[in-house]
Amino acid sequence: MLKDIFHKKKQRYATLTSQDVAERLGRTRTAPDVSVPEGLMSKCKRCGEMTFTKELEKNLKICPKCEYHFPLTAAERLTMTFDEGRYFEYDAGMTAVDPLEFPDYQEKIKREQTKSGVNEAVVTAEGTIGGYPVIIGAMDSTYFMGSMGSVVGEKITRAIEMAQSKKYPFIIFTASGGARMQEGIFSLMQMAKTSAALARFSDAGGLYIAVNTYPTTGGVTASFSMLGDLNIAEPGALIGFAGRRIIEQTIRQKLPDDFQTAEFLLKHGMLDMVVNRKAMRQSLATILELHGGGFRGE
Amino acid sequence: MEVASVANDLQFEQPLLELKKKIEELRKFSEQSGLDFTDEIRKLEEKAQGLANNIYGELSAWQRTQIARHADRPTTLDYIRGMCSDFLELHGDRAFGDDMAIVGGIAKLGNMPVTVIGHQKGHDTKENIARRWGMPQPEGYRKALRLMKQAEKFGRPVVCFIDTPGAYPGIASEERGIGEAIARNLIEMAALRTPIVCVITGEGGSGGALALGVGDRVYMLENTVYGVISPEAGAALLWKDASQGQRAAEAFKITASHVYKFGLIDGIIEEPKGGAHKDQAATIAAVKEQVLAALHELLEIPADVLIEQRYQKYKKMGHYAE
């Protein structure tokens, strides 16, 4: 509810521990987690602010102090984006296999599933935004870093095809560390596959909106995340192709502080706009309205 | 010359090279001394043959990676000049600059005008610095795309030569949208209304390779590799140890025979024994033959059918359970 967004939180201070202070000053990274009951409070990754998890959730998981956008699960994203939080999920049962017989991959899949409670790194679903029917793919970085293997590529490709056949627009929320290493060359090919689906979708007149959220890197940045008719990002989102460390090692120089942030990309002409999560739903609804629902008329 | 060739030899070839040297010495000695060593030389040559079969017959993924990166392998310009006539190199992306890590232009292949594009590594350090070891920045991919669209307009087929460790990781690359540049090529190549034939001639390094690698036919030379990440970087990422490249090369299954078995490429072009660098002319001729054969087939197909088939081919890639 809108009221809740502006809900004042009660404790504004007295939550800083010495470790927090030290960490903020950049003196140490070894500080143990503060001893609060697990799940009750959440700590902002950027400013260190402790917020009651319930309040944070009411605030769409945006730090009330510094506006840091906490990563969302796919379910959280879809619930907050679709009208009344209602949607119909596609291909919910699709799961990864191990085409390379890669060491430890199958065990890792099980561990990631247990840890995150989801079975793959993207959820594709149909619903409405502002009354306009739309198909959304929401990636989930809590599962396997949101990495793209065959399942992610296939689900997104099918969602795009579905959008094309229903003449609905397609929206993706990216959150991915890039290609899934354990599926090797198959992961790489998902970049070509999803892009090929988008080529047809675009030719058919479909509106495609790519919303880049934290983090969007590697093979996802080099495919569908940058191919929107509109490329949007959440504030502060990390978006880049090569990893920061790899670049630093290659060029042996320090990178600017805002390097590979949404704001950096906006400045360099790679994004149409940066939209705060609180305004995202309304912005998407407006875009859909401006496109007459999101599919070019015959 | 001798020194250079020794420096470029690969470690696993050493026993064979030493034996060949020994045979050569014996032959010289035989000539100078007038003594007859014919039998001995014949025996040693048989042994060398057996050794060569052993060494080159069962190359590991890591050994093939080394051959794929060999400094004396033919580069894109070598292929273009060896396969085509009237090559006209065209420069620039019309927006920022001319990236020498990718070369391209128009040439005649057989009697047919074609657009040729490829990653370009250098033949020496100086050239490699200018060409960033074949690691393109965004303007390289945008130049490639400009040439592809030009080919589409004039109904020329496109031939791409792929040989890169990957796109260049740097500030400039990110500032000018390396991700977008690669992505744009993928989406445009998927729907380009003219035949595209791609040949991986060395290293097929991740997205930087794929950005020239969406085609109706994709071939790999026998000793090339194609992967989502270089073995060294993969090892660093997964096992925190870049020196485990050998283990990673096996695990990632990056060789031509693996990728072919996976159904992700259309064929393997054989190389001379020991690798493309042992006989550049023969390698280039083999590539030319394969590309021509593919083009003759593809040029018969109407554009709509061609891009539909291209789509269906990529759509099938991937394994999952449901």
Rounded to an integer, what distance in angstroms lies between the CA atom of residue A258 and that of residue A30? 24
List, by residue range, all CATH 3.90.226.10 domains of chain A: 71-290
Q: Is the pLDDT of residue A17 over 80?
A: no
Are β-strands B158-164 and B112-119 bridged in parallel, bridged antiparallel, or unpaired?
Answer: parallel
Spell out the residues 6+ positions from residue B270 whose beta carbon is closer than 8 angstroms to its own: B222, B286
- Planar angle of CA A165, A171, A173, nearest 5 degrees: 140
With 80 as the cut, is the pLDDT of residue A26 above it? no
Question: Taking CA atoms, what residue in B is nearest to A101?
Answer: B251
Average pLDDT value for chain A = 90
From residue B44, alpha-carbon distances to A30, B28, B32, B35 in Å are: 64, 14, 19, 17
Query: For A64-88, what is the mean pLDDT?
Result: 97
User: Would you say residue A57 has pLDDT above 60?
Assistant: yes
| Residue B183 and residue A222 in contact, taking contact as beta carbons nearer than 8 Å | yes
Look at residues A201, A176, A231 and name the one whose alpha carbon lies nearest to residue B190: A201
Architecture of domain B65-315: Alpha-Beta Complex (3.90)
Domain boundaries, given as residue ranges, for chain B = 2-58, 65-315
Q: Tens digits of per-residue pLDDT, A257-284?
A: 899 999 999 999 999 999 999 999 999 9
A242·B187 Cβ contact <8 A: no
Residue A28 pLDDT exceeds 50 = no
Which chain A residues are Cβ-neighbours of B254 within 8 angstroms? 184-185
Q: Could you say which residues from 260 to 319 on chain B have a Cβ atom under 8 Å away from some Cβ of chain A?
A: 262, 264, 310-311, 314-315, 317-319
In Å, what is the CA distance from B65 to each residue of A283, B60, B131? 49, 9, 21
- Residue B105 backbone phi and psi in degrees, to 5: 165, -160
Q: Residue B197: enclosing H or E segment and its boundaries?
A: strand B196-205
The C-alpha atoms of residue B177 and residue B139 are separated, in whole angstroms, by 9
Measured in angstroms, the CA of B33 and the nearest CA of chain A are apart by 57
> Min CA distance, A157 vs chain B (Å)?
8
Q: A71-290, what's its fold?
A: 2-enoyl-CoA Hydratase; Chain A, domain 1 (3.90.226)
Could you tell me if B186 lies within 8 Å of chain A, comparing CB atoms? yes
Is the per-residue pLDDT at A24 higher than 80? no
- B11: number of Cβ within 10 Å: 8
User: For A136-180, what is each residue's pLDDT tens digit?
Assistant: 999 999 999 999 999 999 999 999 999 999 999 999 999 999 999
Give B251 to chain A, closest Cα distance, Å: 6
What is the count of residue pairs from A and B with beta carbons less than 8 Å apart? 193
Which chain B residues are within 8 Å of A227, Cβ to Cβ? 183-184, 187
Contact call for B254 and A184, based on CB within 8 A: yes
pLDDT at A296: 84
Residues of chain B with pLDDT under 70: 1-8
